[in-house]
Structure 1
Amino acid sequence: MIVPARLVRPVRRVLAPLAVAAVVLSPLPATATSGVGAPLVRTADGWVRGERTAEGRQFLGIPYAQAPSGDLRWRAPRPSARWHGVKDATSYGNDCAQNTYWAPGHEKQQTAEDCLDVNVYTPPAASRRGKLPVMVWIHGGANIGGAARDIVPDTFARATNTVVVSLNYRLGAAGFLTLPGTTGNFALLDQQQALRWVQTNIGRFGGDRHRVTLAGESAGGGAVCAQLASPGSRGMYRAAVIQSGTYGDCAGRNREEAEKSGLAFAAKLGCAQPASAAACLRGKSTKEILDAQKGTGAADWTYTVGGASLPQQPTEAFASGEAARVPVMNGANSNEGLVFAYDSFDRWGTPLTADGYAKALTSAFGAKTGAEALATYPLSSYERPGYAYGAAFGDRLFACPALRVDQSLAARGPVYTYEFADRTSPLFASLPQNADFDFGATHAAELNYLFKPYGIAPRLTAEQRALVDQMAQYWGSFVHGSAPRSAGQPAMPRQESGAVLRLRTTAAGGNAVTSGLHAAHHCGLWDSAV
């Protein structure tokens, strides 16, 4: 499920998930042929055998760190051990431990801890002699669910002539629990260990370790925010992409708050003593930990600020110039909140009514801001109350934070800005395909235009396919080291101009640069409510 209205907390602590589940779909791997001619690559840890596909080559489930189980729980990841012979890399590894999750393929509790793997996708021309740019992808899922396999970027790799690496990282309590005597931020450290693996090995797959772009969407975009501010990843990437990841202005919890929350969680499992809580929890089964995690939400599992891995809030690091000085592409979608509105009301057979609209806004945003939102988003301007609520929710959590963070990011380097605004976007794979609800360009909708979510290629019209090609050029040119651009289209503007590139099909007006998003998303209201 997605964060329901009744659980919305102050925006700095809300973590947006990837999407809402309503159908059960099976992930479909890329069509591949193996056997004779299957590609072999020798990594620093041993040989791997991948597959040739219609799009290029893929190598799946390669470990980048040892299993963080037993005594290695709630410790920094350790490099993977070497192996003998040839490791099969034709199927995905384990998902990291997580409870049931709203997306296809995540309908059962997963208890595996041996999950710190990467997947590598290369275009047909990639070879050890080549030096192609690399994109490292961090998946979304509210920091409590999802996996690297959720996004299949093989078509993107071919279309942009790049190498793409996707990675797993510890989730929920395993990745974000902070206790006295531990560093916390284990998910952040996992991501950094994966980047070290890329630095060591990507040249063997045809990639250039000096041209790495770190990218992610939703919780993955939030991870990119944190990595920009983290000294531990400095120098391991030359650019970054944040997609719908600046909710809460990229803020994490301070260490005191995080430790208090961590000790309360440990006490639920009978590990109440601060000095021994971590050791006590290491003796619990993964299922016990996941069962104790039930009932917690996205706001309970986020990055901890204060300490070597994340010394200060990301926006403070951006504004002071102490964050990574790399080019950043940052954006959000025009109708982010509609999927959250659906999940809070319509999904349960209780659509929001006109009579309940004011109470829903107050519940979500507090009495004062809720009353102001009622005046700013009058029901007379929307087809149904759920759409009005979704507009307010999306503007507060995504659109306006993205514009604010743009300004903070600009203090430390170039920032290129976009808004995905294709109202005709096909439904994301985990959304109900026959719902009486207009999701528009909602949260995660842009992923249909870049990748194959859950391995499922969306059905697109000719105009949508044209936008796919244009977005591949914008993203691909950025990964290749230039400003984002697409042939015959307006350039993606830098933040200093105050403008944003809106990405739309031709019928909706086409791609266009606008300076009106702050007003369109009523950011005067939401900026004052921070």
Structure 2
Amino acid sequence: MALGKSLTPTFTFDHVDLGPMTGIITPDNVVQFRAIPYATLPGRFKQSILLETLSATNRDFTQPGFATPHTAGQDIFSGGPFPGQIIPTPMDEFKSLILQINVPLVCLQDGTSKLSKLPVMVYVHGGGFVLGKVDAQHNTAYMVEQSILDSQPVIGVSLQYRLGALGFMHTPDGGRNFGFYDQRNALLWIQKFIGGFGGNSAQVTAFGESAGGMSICYHMLAPPPPSGPLFKRVILMSGVIASTLTPAPIPEANSLYEKLVQAIGIEERGEAALEKLRGLEVQKIVDASSKISNEGDMWSFVEDETWFGKEKVTWDRISELIGRCEWIDEIMLGNTGFEGLMFTANVNALTPKNFSKSVSDQLGPKNASLIMDAYNITPDMDQNLFSNTAFRWIGDTVFDGPAHALSRHLTTKTTKKVYRYIFDIRNPFPNHPLYQQAHHWVDVYFVFKVHQFRYPTQFLKNISTKHAQLWIDFANGKTPWSEYKYDDGKEAVIMVADERDGWVERSVAEDERMNERSWKRCEVLWEAWKGVEGKQFSPLKIEPLAKAKMV
């Protein structure tokens, strides 16, 4: 099936292991190879198999590929479709385990003799493990172009993986974590073949936003494959594993399987139901998967001894276990200015009274009091004022808190270098429901440089360009800005992007004074949660949020 014809010039390259490959030149100094398959699927709810050859593959990599089946979000939220974008995005369950690779043209013009051994930047998309794809909005080509302009060229790669129930359901025959094993196969493929494009497999930086960053964390919790580490540096963009997304116990995962079977109306149970599921039209599974997500359940990692060994992975051990990862020495991580704003449905379900009571029921009056004091919550406070605070609480719980805990642990208990940032630039798209807010994922609209044509000011374009440059510096092994060190207290240095100064280094004290931000709230949360250390625990599992959608 042709997914649209490209009018841009093409370039054919003879990969030393894979043979001839034709991509498109876009922009003028970058070759983009689209929809390269990295694995095959032997069947639904089965683990993917690493593709070792492209011998049976069409050598035309100039067309967009299929997305993995999922309930797609609205492209209007990012300013509308891109020129030439196909809507709706074609999806195919068995043809969607693909990569997109962007390579400096000069690197390929004489084989790999020029600019060989380039650093590689691999992007893992977010979307709460239920949506996302390789598309124009996550295109690394303009980052690669920027790296060439700055004389520190890189290769950019993006990958897809299975989503929702198709990617994360635990099945009665023992199948689980299909999407994460897909990611591992993609990273293995990159290790095996990126050298033929001129890349350095020992200089891979994995970067991901939200679920993409959490995915990278999960790969850091697993031992590297026999062939060696899958990446060397990481950038976690609002993406450190939160208490809400630690590995689900098998009984909990089994209950999600039962919910899906019931939602579809299958009478059989166990493996008999699984066979029925494998024979269904894929859209029925996607619809049922979305229904379960909309009712407050999450599709994510399931306990897996093959992945973790005998380690018990609970919310309070995430920082410690990531700190043990011996093959990562440098970590960049950060958050947006107001992460919690994406949880409107959750906040609308809360009042000062039901929140206070629910947290007290969950943690006990003493620990609940710690949280109420930290967030200045009283049962009779104004609802508007409370809602603003509730957004902060959810953002701290899911995004800011885990990042702060990891930064604190890594800089006080390990020798790893940590570079911390806050992206406090507001959404520039008037038709977006979070217009003029520095919400979760707003940084994705800037780092790739692909949205610059629709920014209203040159200042925002400069923010976007600098964003890409800092990420490229890090991938090239440079120090992007001063290290963050928790023990420096209020004088600890972070990088902040805001609409007053652009990208600027500030002390924690300066940032708190200017923006009334405080990570001390996050530390209070961890203190209040001490009674549930070593247990599966989700702070958002309180009665008012029992059925609230999380993604």
TM-score by length of 2: 0.76
Equivalences for 1:467-482 in 2 at 5 Å?
467-482=463-478
Task: Quote the residue 2:13 is aligned against.
Answer: 40
1:114 to 75, 91, 95: 95
Is 1:501 paired with 2:494?
Answer: yes
Equivalences for 1:74-113 in 2 at 5 Å?
74-79=46-51, 82-83=54-55, 87-103=59-75, 110=91, 112-113=93-94
Report the CA distance between 1:178 and its aligned residue. 1.1
SS of match in other structure, 1:50: strand
Letter matched to residue 169 of structure 2: L
Letter matched to residue 34 of structure 1: P
**Is the Cα–Cα contact under 8 Å of residues 424 and 440 in structure 1 kept in the other structure?**
yes
Equivalences for 1:426-505 in 2 at 5 Å?
426-427=428-429, 433=431, 439-452=436-449, 457-459=453-455, 461-485=457-481, 491-494=482-485, 497=488, 499-505=492-498
- How far apart are the structure 1 equivalents of 2:402 and 2:318? 16
Task: Quote the residue 2:538 is aligned against.
Answer: none
Letter matched to residue 57 of structure 1: V
Task: Quote the residue 1:144 is aligned against.
Answer: 130
Is 1:169 paired with 2:161?
Answer: yes
Equivalences for 1:328-407 in 2 at 5 Å?
328-341=331-344, 357-358=351-352, 361=355, 376-377=375-376, 386-407=387-408
Report the CA distance between 1:318 and its aligned residue. 5.0
1:204 to 178, 182, 196: 196
Letter matched to residue 419 of structure 2: T
**Is the Cα–Cα contact under 8 Å of residues 361 and 371 in structure 1 kept in the other structure?**
no
With 397-406 and 104-113 compared, the bigger mean Cα shift is at 104-113
- How far apart are the structure 2 equivalents of 1:459 and 1:218? 23
Report the CA distance between 1:254 and its aligned residue. 2.6
- CA separation of 1:308/1:324 partners in 2, compared to 1, >3 Å: closer, same or farther? farther
- Deviation per CA, 1:129-181, whole angstroms, max 9, x where unpaired? 21110011100111011102240121111223211110000101111011243
Letter matched to residue 236 of structure 1: L
Equivalences for 1:26-425 in 2 at 5 Å?
33-35=8-10, 38-42=11-15, 44-54=17-27, 56-67=30-41, 69-70=43-44, 73-79=45-51, 82-83=54-55, 87-103=59-75, 110=91, 112-127=93-108, 128-129=112-113, 130-149=116-135, 150-160=137-147, 161-232=153-224, 235-249=229-243, 251-266=246-261, 268-269=263-264, 270=266, 272-297=268-293, 299-311=297-309, 312=311, 313=313, 316=317, 318-319=319-320, 322-326=324-328, 327-341=330-344, 357-358=351-352, 361=355, 376-377=375-376, 386-410=387-411, 411=413, 414-425=416-427
Task: Quote the residue 1:522 is aligned against.
Answer: 521
With 91-100 and 373-382 compared, the bigger mean Cα shift is at 373-382
- CA separation of 1:102/1:319 partners in 2, compared to 1, >3 Å: closer, same or farther? same
Report the CA distance between 1:494 and its aligned residue. 4.7
Letter matched to residue 144 of structure 1: V
- CA separation of 1:457/1:389 partners in 2, compared to 1, >3 Å: closer, same or farther? farther
**Is the Cα–Cα contact under 8 Å of residues 40 and 94 in structure 2 kept in the other structure?**
no
- How far apart are the structure 2 equivalents of 1:386 and 1:286? 39
SS of match in other structure, 1:33: coil
Letter matched to residue 414 of structure 1: K
SS of match in other structure, 1:441: coil
SS of match in other structure, 2:306: coil
- CA separation of 1:40/1:260 partners in 2, compared to 1, >3 Å: closer, same or farther? same
- CA separation of 1:175/1:134 partners in 2, compared to 1, >3 Å: closer, same or farther? same
Task: Quote the residue 1:6 is aligned against.
Answer: none
- CA separation of 1:469/1:110 partners in 2, compared to 1, >3 Å: closer, same or farther? closer
Letter matched to residue 501 of structure 1: I
- How far apart are the structure 2 equivalents of 1:45 and 1:364? 58
**Is the Cα–Cα contact under 8 Å of residues 210 and 237 in structure 2 kept in the other structure?**
yes
**Is the Cα–Cα contact under 8 Å of residues 99 and 145 in structure 1 kept in the other structure?**
yes
**Is the Cα–Cα contact under 8 Å of residues 5 and 63 in structure 2 kept in the other structure?**
no
Report the CA distance between 1:330 and its aligned residue. 1.6
Report the CA distance between 1:319 and its aligned residue. 1.7
- How far apart are the structure 2 equivalents of 1:450 and 1:260? 39
SS of match in other structure, 1:504: strand
- How far apart are the structure 1 equivalents of 2:267 and 2:445? 44
* Bigger Rg over Cα: 2
**Is the Cα–Cα contact under 8 Å of residues 428 and 455 in structure 2 kept in the other structure?**
yes
With 255-264 and 144-153 compared, the bigger mean Cα shift is at 255-264
With 137-146 and 47-56 compared, the bigger mean Cα shift is at 47-56
- Deviation per CA, 1:195-228, whole angstroms, max 9, x where unpaired? 1111122122221111111111011011011011
TM-score by length of 1: 0.78
Letter matched to residue 449 of structure 1: F
**Is the Cα–Cα contact under 8 Å of residues 426 and 445 in structure 1 kept in the other structure?**
no
- How far apart are the structure 2 equivalents of 1:195 and 1:61? 15
After superposition, the CA RMSD in angstroms is 3.7
- CA separation of 1:334/1:422 partners in 2, compared to 1, >3 Å: closer, same or farther? closer
With 366-375 and 400-409 compared, the bigger mean Cα shift is at 366-375
With 357-366 and 131-140 compared, the bigger mean Cα shift is at 357-366
**Is the Cα–Cα contact under 8 Å of residues 417 and 483 in structure 2 kept in the other structure?**
no
- Deviation per CA, 1:255-283, whole angstroms, max 9, x where unpaired? 34323433443454537543555444323
Letter matched to residue 97 of structure 1: P
- How far apart are the structure 1 equivalents of 2:100 and 2:281? 28
- How far apart are the structure 1 equivalents of 2:279 and 2:308? 28
Q: Which runs of 5+ in 1 are unaligned?
A: 1-28, 346-351, 486-490
| Identity score, percent | 22
- How far apart are the structure 2 equivalents of 1:166 and 1:271? 40
Letter matched to residue 525 of structure 2: W
- Deviation per CA, 1:377-423, whole angstroms, max 9, x where unpaired? 56999986654432232222211121012234455551423232434
Letter matched to residue 404 of structure 2: L
- CA separation of 1:101/1:413 partners in 2, compared to 1, >3 Å: closer, same or farther? farther
- How far apart are the structure 2 equivalents of 1:286 and 1:507? 48
With 443-452 and 229-238 compared, the bigger mean Cα shift is at 229-238
SS of match in other structure, 1:253: coil
**Is the Cα–Cα contact under 8 Å of residues 425 and 440 in structure 1 kept in the other structure?**
yes
- CA separation of 1:293/1:65 partners in 2, compared to 1, >3 Å: closer, same or farther? same
- How far apart are the structure 2 equivalents of 1:308 and 1:84? 31
- How far apart are the structure 1 equivalents of 2:455 and 2:33? 26
Q: Which runs of 5+ in 2 are unaligned?
A: 82-86, 148-152, 530-551
**Is the Cα–Cα contact under 8 Å of residues 69 and 114 in structure 1 kept in the other structure?**
no
Report the CA distance between 1:125 and its aligned residue. 3.6
**Is the Cα–Cα contact under 8 Å of residues 141 and 218 in structure 1 kept in the other structure?**
yes
